[in-house]
């Protein structure tokens, strides 16, 4: 009988070790004993199943080796053998753990065509959804071994949005079986070994500023370090669904890419506040299809849309047809006038922050049905190379906020509290003869 060594699991760790879901995520806060549990799970499965093929992945090879190899060798070195050339830890009866990494998007290509029974991703929020999908494709085989993927995670990072969607919000897309996904949250308070061994670490987490404390100590997924819009709050900025009120003026904003078309229908109240009524977020559309989809999305309210603030690159002529994107979109019957958006990034984000700012009443409201925009506003991260700019990846969380930025830049700033004017005009009004 082989006995796992190195301590007794906590209750949360027991839940993780006992999970039989195809995809199990563990963690959420710091100090929950994620790495310890992940190593025990992989070692247990290698010792249980002859010939089991496992891979342990982090963003870089130095990280995965530095965080796990010495601990595994210290605890199981008597029964396993490390091969540096193969980057593989071999167990008895042919089972192994291969150490892998996914730093750049292209790194996943090295695993194309490979098959693994078990894949473990340590710090999964540091990987993009594309990298996760590519690794999922390697989870296959015909032998008796179970096929499972185990993830550890903390809020934040480029993978925050997809981890939150699948494991926290359980917002599944076509082809994703809810029964395949299991999330086991854990905090430092669930790790009695660390609590006893290093109480100073707990006090350190408890003394952090509010935003970091919520993410690192309590594992809150709606706030995290590096979040671009920490002022965004579902309680403050999200409102129940509503239609376009009579007498309110409206416009739209569009960000187009073949990977995602994002269109927002926005109303303006008498005080100049913006209300995002509906969203259209759909991938895989060419320009003609995008135009028809936008007109259909706007529906009868399209006649009241004064303009659509759209990405400036749509004014460039396409080499294949000699026509610009604006010409293609404008040819669609029912398309409102297209306004070339001011796409300056930092000024645009600043303008958007003015609408999000604390005050007696929020100047930006997003209807609850705009699920992609709401999730993206919470998941958008800072660009690590440019101060005050948002990261341009992962792309699935950038398109809807980009459209909202175009919307904010098409408006004048909200009037000051001392300004009692309710006539909130927008800069290009004269171009299209004002509001309808």
Question: Of 306, 304, 315, 318, whose CA–CA distance to 340 is shortest?
Answer: 315
- Look at residue 414 in the predicted model and tell me its pLDDT: 41
DSSP SS3 for 176: coil
222-247 pLDDT, tens digit per residue, is 877 678 898 898 888 999 999 999 99
CATH class for the domain made up of 234-432? alpha beta
333-363 pLDDT, tens digit per residue, is 999 999 999 999 999 999 999 999 866 577 9
Domains 11-216 and 234-432 are alike in CATH topology:
no
Domain ranges of the chain: 11-216, 234-432
Look over the chain and give the mean of its residue pLDDT values, rounded to a whole number: 87
DSSP SS3 for 251: strand
pLDDT over 90 (residue 433): no
Q: What fold does the segment set 11-216 form as a domain?
A: Rossmann fold (3.40.50)
pLDDT over 60 (residue 77): yes
Beta-strand runs (E) in 285-414: 305-310, 338-340, 364-367
- Which range (275-284, 294-303, 392-401) has the least confidence? 392-401
Structural contact between residues 266 and 366, judged by C-beta atoms closer than 8 angstroms? no
Structural contact between residues 186 and 32, judged by C-beta atoms closer than 8 angstroms? yes
Q: Average pLDDT for residues 175-179, to the nearest whole number?
A: 96
- Look at residue 432 in the predicted model and tell me its pLDDT: 35
Band of pLDDT at residue 128, cut at 50, 70 and 90: confident
Q: β-strand 181-186 against 338-340: which pairing, if any? A: unpaired
- Look at residue 5 in the predicted model and tell me its pLDDT: 53
Phi-psi region of 58 (alpha: psi -120 to 50; beta: other; left: phi over 0): beta
Number of Cβ within a 10 Å radius of residue 196: 8
- Which range (83-87, 153-157, 262-266) has the least confidence? 153-157
Structural contact between residues 346 and 191, judged by C-beta atoms closer than 8 angstroms? no
pLDDT over 60 (residue 415): no
| CA–CA gap between residue 421 and residue 426 (Å, rounded) | 14
- Look at residue 359 in the predicted model and tell me its pLDDT: 66
| CA–CA gap between residue 364 and residue 424 (Å, rounded) | 14
| Contacts with 429 (C-beta within 8 Å, 6 or more apart), sequence order | 306, 435
| CA–CA gap between residue 167 and residue 121 (Å, rounded) | 14
| CA–CA gap between residue 69 and residue 4 (Å, rounded) | 16
């Amino acid at each position: 009988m082989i006995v796992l060594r190195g301590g007794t699991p906590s209750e949360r760790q027991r839940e993780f070790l006992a999970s039989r879901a195809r995809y199990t995520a563990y963690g959420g806060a710091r100090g929950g004993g994620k790495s310890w549990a992940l190593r025990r799970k992989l070692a247990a499965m290698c010792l249980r199943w002859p010939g089991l093929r496992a891979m342990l992945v982090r963003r870089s090879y130095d990280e995965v080796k530095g965080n796990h190899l010495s601990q595994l060798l210290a605890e199981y070195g008597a029964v396993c053998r490390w091969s540096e050339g193969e980057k593989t830890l071999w167990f008895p009866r042919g089972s192994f753990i291969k150490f892998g990494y996914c730093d750049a998007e292209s790194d996943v290509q090295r695993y194309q065509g490979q098959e693994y029974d078990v894949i473990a991703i340590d710090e999964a929020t540091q990987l993009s959804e594309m990298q996760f999908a590519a690794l999922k494709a390697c989870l296959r085989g015909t032998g008796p071994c179970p096929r499972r993927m185990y993830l550890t995670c903390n809020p934040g990072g480029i993978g925050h949005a997809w981890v939150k969607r699948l494991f926290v919000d359980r917002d599944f897309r076509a082809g994703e079986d809810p029964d395949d996904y299991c999330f086991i949250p854990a905090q430092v308070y669930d790790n009695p070994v660390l609590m006893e061994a290093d109480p100073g670490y707990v006090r350190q987490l408890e003394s952090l500023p509010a935003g970091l404390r919520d993410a690192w100590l309590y594992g809150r997924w709606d706030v995290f370090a590096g979040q671009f819009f920490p002022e965004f709050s579902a309680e403050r900025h999200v409102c129940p669904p509503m239609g376009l009120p009579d007498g309110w003026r409206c416009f739209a904003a569009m960000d187009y890419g073949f990977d995602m078309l994002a269109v927002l229908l926005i109303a303006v109240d008498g005080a100049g506040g913006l209300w995002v009524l509906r969203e259209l977020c759909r991938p895989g559309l060419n320009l003609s299809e995008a135009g028809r989809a936008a007109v259909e999305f706007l529906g009868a309210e399209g006649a009241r849309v004064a303009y659509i603030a759209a990405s400036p690159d749509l004014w460039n002529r396409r080499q294949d047809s000699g026509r610009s994107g604006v010409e293609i979109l404008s040819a669609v019957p029912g398309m409102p006038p297209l306004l070339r958006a001011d796409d300056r990034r930092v000024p645009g984000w600043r303008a958007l922050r003015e609408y999000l700012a604390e005050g007696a009443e929020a100047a930006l409201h997003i209807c609850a049905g705009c699920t992609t925009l709401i999730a993206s506003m919470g998941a958008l991260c800072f660009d690590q190379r440019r101060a005050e700019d948002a990261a341009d990846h992962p792309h699935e969380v950038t398109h809807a906020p980009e459209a909202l930025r175009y919307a904010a830049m098409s408006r004048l700033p909200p009037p000051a509290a001392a300004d009692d004017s309710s006539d909130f005009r927008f800069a290009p009004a004269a171009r299209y003869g004002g509001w309808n």
